Structure 1
């Protein structure tokens, strides 16, 4: 019970605040609008990277399954605009960013648990986690995009045949040289896509105020009524920056406190505001106030209830990891491990990565495998001379290895992105495994400097 209670004391409130904040943001529709905006700004070629980095960093307060269910339909709608391998690229970007975020980025639930288990200040975990996760996502997506377009992905075998009315399928040209010859309006990112029938364009994605970008990257002028529809919709929705400001403020406070502490310049008032519990509480209260003003009291209340429901299982898993660490410490295994590892080698990081990888293959849970692997070395973190943040990052990296059929994420990606099981093994299992190795490499490089 001591291990369970200790870890709950460290991170219980942090996990609860983060999940509640994410649930409220989800209810406001902020996630859908953010993804649509990314496509408008970065275009088809850049959107897998932009979407991956956004999901892996900014949106980690949202419970993984909720974030996946929200973002997958949008990713599937974007896929045709990325060409023949669009589905593969978007599915891979989603899988990598979702899984990396929960174990490498604050306030991802496993990241917060790892920090508490190893005694790593949350601000420090945020800074070094960011340093690792950004190159991990970018490099991994780049590697996978190259492999997918050079023989790894077989469209006829790895994608499900599109069904009638499926928005994700690439439109075929009609007799007039246009597309979507059903005579109806094709859905676009802002609900005002290219018109069908007589020479209408393919489903399009957002561009400037009076134009869109078609599937070939060309700009297409909007009709007057389409401009009006977009204007009315955007004018009635709450400001997107305003919705995310409280969460961003919380992260800035935590990071600022960590930087000032390392510089020896921390003021008592700043120390209070930058403490993770207070900072995330400020973010939660701010998000709640903004949401009440924009979507009303009833919907915020519903989001809070959903958030409490989601946080329960996360807290139990986290507590189990803390209990394991206490058992390891009490058994004397810590002394054995401390004598085996040396401070001047990479053996501890590679070993914790391997332990987490094996556990993940066996039990199918990223969070459990990361927390368990870190728990094995938590009692000796101070003895082996390595910064505990490196052990946390290595455990997180190892837990990403080989996401497969025991994972709920695997099947959600398979069904919601229109992949076959074989295709999901490539985009999710292989893609996230690539990210696991890349994250370990980034952690080893980081270990040279800290």
Structure 2
């Protein structure tokens, strides 16, 4: 979101669409979130419908005219999809190319060939982190689980010793690093700089994934010592391919958007002159749209053509990559509508007024809000969207680095203690053949460690930036 749009949101907050007082607004927020939580958890309604109904309920409880509440919701939905929808689509295409071409398997096989013994958990973190950059969490799990099971079986490793580092790598990327949907939406809502958020996200992600992955996996392996379930080892994506992309070309393609976006952030800090020719060039090539588009175009050749794909096969791969993200786009869009409704009824101004007397740091407050919504709904994306909408006004006077840290605080909170209302919980449970109790001891605790360690490092960074 541009600084102009942030100013517009601030202006909108001055003239809310309802005359409700702070007490009624507070009740409306709690009631609106309660409606969303109830619809998702009790009635198992899709998050898109739950967020849509919850947004209208929020407006109604705040005493806003229904037509204005609908306008706020649709405006927020449209602006959010416009801001992040194309980026999510490009990320999905890159991820599909990586999976179907065998590029992901090439990364896995190359790294595993160099690792053994004590290095294996660290190798799994590295694999998951690289593959997890362009992939959605669920896709990453489907790609990596066969590798985890095969490594555990062939090397006679504890399944948790290998599996937890891989899951930690995927989860940290999902919660903290753009271009994943959650961080992108929070960046858009708060008006943070994407390049700076990406750079600081990597700083937070590295120690977090080490502690939650290889370090915690030692304890997880003692608590839950189970063999790899034979029935869950499927055929790998590239087993039917005659050739695969090279390791170097694959890694370069995956990291290209990251390099371009970080280059833009670095030049913006060092040069800090919008009229400078170098900065103008990096502002273009380092914009998320161009960076991801460049990676996709390069990937068509370095991944698709390198695997021997015909033009028709490439077209089919791109087409198939877009269908699964329809649900994600709708959830993200509806979340944007919910956020805009919060702003338009005056919640932002209310939080600004209350926050003047709060002793709790803004970053910690954002984390706690995301934690509460995550525990209630089970959805990291819903938690990120809702928390970003609530605390966005607090970012108005923040520096560029602290606005980025606010995004990371929300992302860390959105990962807290995954349990039975989270689809990811059941995905991990079934793939690893664990009981509910075993999944809580391993997966749920790992997610909590990521969340807590993440916010600790965010707070530490806030002291020095």
Shorter-chain TM-score category?
A: 0.7 to 0.9
Quick one: distance in 2 between partners of 1:34 and 1:335?
49
* Cα distance change of structure 1 residues 384 and 257 upon mapping to structure 2, 3 Å threshold: closer
Offset, 1:148: 2.7
Quick one: distance in 1 between partners of 2:321 and 2:364?
36
State the superposition RMSD in angstroms.
2.9
Contact 1:57 1:130 in 2 (8 A): no
Q: Secondary structure at the match of 1:307?
A: helix
* Residue aligning to 1:148: 220
Quick one: distance in 1 between partners of 2:156 and 2:437?
20
* Residue aligning to 1:294: 307
| Matched residues, number | 383
Contact 2:84 2:185 in 1 (8 A): yes
Quick one: distance in 1 between partners of 2:270 and 2:407?
23
Q: Secondary structure at the match of 2:417?
A: coil
Offset, 1:80: 4.0
* Cα distance change of structure 1 residues 57 and 358 upon mapping to structure 2, 3 Å threshold: farther
* Residue aligning to 1:43: 116
Quick one: distance in 1 between partners of 2:397 and 2:197?
20
Quick one: distance in 1 between partners of 2:129 and 2:249?
20
Q: Secondary structure at the match of 1:358?
A: helix
- The structure in which a higher percent of residues are helix is 2
Q: State which drifts further: 377-386 or 413-422.
A: 377-386
Could you list the runs of 4 or more consecutive aligned residues of structure 1 that deviate by over 6 angstroms after TM superposition? 165-168
Quick one: distance in 1 between partners of 2:232 and 2:142?
17
Quick one: distance in 2 between partners of 1:337 and 1:53?
40
What does 1:89-108 align with in structure 2 at a 5 Å threshold? 89-108=161-180
In the alignment, which of 271, 284, 287 is matched to residue 275 of structure 1?
A: 287
In the alignment, which of 440, 447, 450 is matched to residue 462 of structure 2?
A: 447
> Mind listing any 5+ residue stretches in structure 1 that lack a counterpart?
169-186, 192-232
Quick one: distance in 2 between partners of 1:340 and 1:142?
42
* Cα distance change of structure 1 residues 359 and 166 upon mapping to structure 2, 3 Å threshold: closer
Contact 1:341 1:347 in 2 (8 A): no
Quick one: distance in 1 between partners of 2:218 and 2:149?
20
Deviations 1:290-320 (A, max 9, x none): 3134331333223212211122122112212
* Residue aligning to 2:259: 252
Matched, 1:330 2:344: yes
Matched, 1:396 2:408: no
What does 1:335-414 align with in structure 2 at a 5 Å threshold? 335-341=349-355, 347-383=361-397, 387-414=402-429
Contact 1:374 1:392 in 2 (8 A): yes
Quick one: distance in 2 between partners of 1:264 and 1:333?
38
Q: State which drifts further: 334-343 or 402-411.
A: 334-343
Quick one: distance in 2 between partners of 1:236 and 1:307?
21
Quick one: distance in 2 between partners of 1:125 and 1:395?
12
Offset, 1:267: 2.7
Superposition TM-score, scaled by structure 2 size: 0.75
Contact 1:91 1:427 in 2 (8 A): no
Quick one: distance in 1 between partners of 2:422 and 2:117?
29
In the alignment, which of 319, 323, 330 is matched to residue 305 of structure 1?
A: 319
Contact 2:128 2:167 in 1 (8 A): no
